[in-house]
Each structure stands twice: as C-alpha cells, then as structure tokens.
Amino acid sequence: MDAKEFAIEQMEMVRGMLREWVADITQEQMNTRVVEGGVHLAWILSHLAWSEAGTVNKFIREIENPLRHLGKSCGMHSTVVDEAENYPSKAQAMATLEEVRAGTLEFLETLSPADLDTPVKDGPAEFKTWGSIFALIGAHEAHHNGQISVIWRRLGHEPKI
C-alpha cells in the first residue's frame, strides 16, 4: 500500500465510523454537547466539511474555501451556540460532508503517490507536504468521531464495540 492508497483507506474507514455513530442520532439531538460548554454534533459535522474543503482547497489547490460561509458558525475559534438556525440540518450537513469527501477523493485520485511529497506553500508547520494534509483529514475526523461517540453514549446508546 502506498501513501495515496493509505490516505484513501484511512478517510473511507473513518467516514464509515462517523456514518455509524450519526445514523441513529435524530435532528432533535443534534445540539447535544460532548460536555457542558463543549461542541455539539451540529457544529462537528459542519466543522468537518468546512475544514476539509478549506484545507484541500487553500493549501493544495490554492483556491478559496467554497464553504467559507460556514466559518463563522463552525470555523476555528468559532463560538458554539445552541440555536439550530445557526447550523444546517443533519441531512444537509451530512450531504455537504459527503459531497466534500467525494470531491477530496476525486481530486486525490488524480494525483500520483509522488505528488503527495509536494511541499505545501504558506501553510502551518504541520502541513509539510500534500500527503500530510490528507493524513490530517482522516486524523481530524477520527478526533471528532471520539467526540461523537461520547455524544452517542450521553444519549443513552450502548457502545458500538
């Protein structure tokens, strides 16, 4: 397995886990927070889409984030609020998340494994190469999957594993 295949495998595996956790959470439960003062599922789903679209587009494709309008409600350092009108519905958020991932995978498929060694221009220190960005996408989603699993349990569901 090369780096490109690994990135695809990781993103697909982590997304499958997210779909499982989110499937039985209702729209009414979308604002359940991980902990008091923490983030909720509505924020997490929008944040993941905003972040992935922004990271790939800004640091690899060198274009503006097509989801920049979500930045105020779910971007880095945004204030998480409970009012549902500040976030897309569960269905909308999941559709956007899937659309962004499809675009990421479609773009990744056009690259060679060697392309993943391309240095990132003007990015944060942890973004050394294009490959490191794709690695972050899976790791970032896995991080938030941990939060979703806590929300799942707070809602009274049994552990998945």
Where in the sequence is the domain holding 38, given as residue range(s)? Answer: 10-154
In a domain, 78, yes or no: yes
**What is the number of domains present in the chain?**
1
In a domain, 114, yes or no: yes
pTM: 0.94
In a domain, 160, yes or no: no
Residue 98 CA to residue 67 CA, distance in Å, equals 13
In a domain, 26, yes or no: yes
In a domain, 5, yes or no: no
In a domain, 1, yes or no: no
Tens digits of residue pLDDT in 89-132 = 999 999 999 999 999 999 999 999 999 999 998 888 888 999 99
3-state secondary structure 89-132: CHHHHHHHHHHHHHHHHHHHHCCCHHHHHCECCCCCCCCCEHHH
Tens digits of residue pLDDT in 2-56 = 999 999 999 999 999 999 999 989 999 999 999 999 999 999 999 999 999 999 9
pLDDT band for 76, please (50, 70, 90 cuts). Answer: confident
In a domain, 120, yes or no: yes
In a domain, 161, yes or no: no
pLDDT band for 160, please (50, 70, 90 cuts). Answer: confident
**CATH number reported for the structural domain that contains residue 106 in this entry:** 1.20.120.450
- The answer to whether the beta carbons of residues 152 and 78 sit under 8 Å apart is no
